[in-house]
Structure 1
Amino acid sequence: MPRRTQRTDTNSTTVLSALGSKYSAEILCAAGTPKSAQTLSEDIEIPIATCYRRIEELVDAGLLTCEGRQLSEEGRRTNIYRRTVDELEVDFSDEQPTFSQKRRTEAKNRLQDKLEK
């Protein structure tokens, strides 16, 4: 069963800031399977520099993770990213926002990887 966790820590600002940036939601949707920044940039049709900035914000917020490295078509080592959550709910009814998130399980990642091949 997917894990649902609550967050009420000081990272609320970091998460909200990352989600509020243009293209962040698109990157998270596209990163359901491991992808390089270059692939994400091409898939979403955004400049690579913008993509790298959004990736950094999403990694800092804990919404995206670097899963490792692979060789690009040009033979360079490149980082591969995948989102860490499938759902995120923000509650603004208190003094501080709280988050409820459905984290991706490793089993779901493996299954999705097999389906993509």
Structure 2
Amino acid sequence: MSSHRTEQTEPNSPTVLSALGNKYSAEILCAAGTPKSAQTLSEDIEIPIATCYRRIEELVDAGLLTCEGRQLSEKGRRTNIYRRTVDELEVDFSSDRPAFSQKRRTEAKNQIQDKLGE
């Protein structure tokens, strides 16, 4: 996948705008540059875990965050691991409806960040 800006046709504008408009959504996206569990995101951003799960669900529905798999937590439970799908998102309000352009994260960038984080 290319890292060039591409016009986004899905998800729809109201879903993305609604997700981004909620408190903590931007902080979650910033923190999710590397794979993290909801618990880790909650602790990193210092927000209640229930709020974190709600925001994660909204961001996943909007296509801005993805579940990359599952891993065992420190307590031995299987937990979902999330990472953002975009590095940049631009909203153009000059037409009848908002239009989005985005800079999607590439798999190569994810792999490099994963190696640097080890």
Fold in common (TM above 0.5): yes
- For 1:11-47, what per-residue CA distance to the aligned partner results, in whole angstroms no more than 9, with x for missing partners? 1000000000000000000000000000000000000
Q: Is 2:19 aligned against 1:24?
A: no
Aligned pairs, how many?
A: 117
With normalisation by structure 2, the TM-score equals: 0.96
Asked whether the equivalents of residues 11 and 62 of structure 2 are also in contact (C-alpha less than 8 Å), the reply is no
* Structure 2: gaps of 5 or more residues: none
Following the alignment from structure 2 to structure 1, what is the Cα–Cα distance between the partners of residues 89 and 29? 11
**Aligned residues with identical type, % of pairs:** 85
Q: What SS is found at the alignment partner of 1:2? A: coil
What are the superposed Cα offsets for residues 36-80 of structure 1, whole Å, 9 maximum, x if unpaired? 000000000000000000000000000000000000000000000
Q: CA RMSD in A?
A: 1.1
Match of 1:46 in 2: 47
Find the counterpart in structure 2 of residue 66 from structure 1.
67
**In the TM superposition, what is the alpha-carbon distance from 1:3 to its structure 2 partner?**
2.9
- List gaps (5 residues or longer) in structure 1: none
The TM-score with structure 1 as length reference comes to 0.97
Q: 1:111 to 1:73 in 2, by over 3 A?
A: same
Mapped contact 2:11–2:63 kept (Cα < 8 A): no
Q: How does 1:34-113 map to 2 (within 5 A)?
A: 34-113=35-114
Q: 2:7 is matched with which residue? A: 6
User: 1 CA distance for matches of 2:5 and 2:81?
Assistant: 25
| Deviating 4+ runs (over 2 angstroms) | 7-10
SS of structure 2 residue aligned to 1:18 = helix
* Alpha-carbon distance in structure 2 between the residues aligned to 1:104 and 1:97: 22
Partners of 1:31 and 1:40 within 8 A in 2: yes
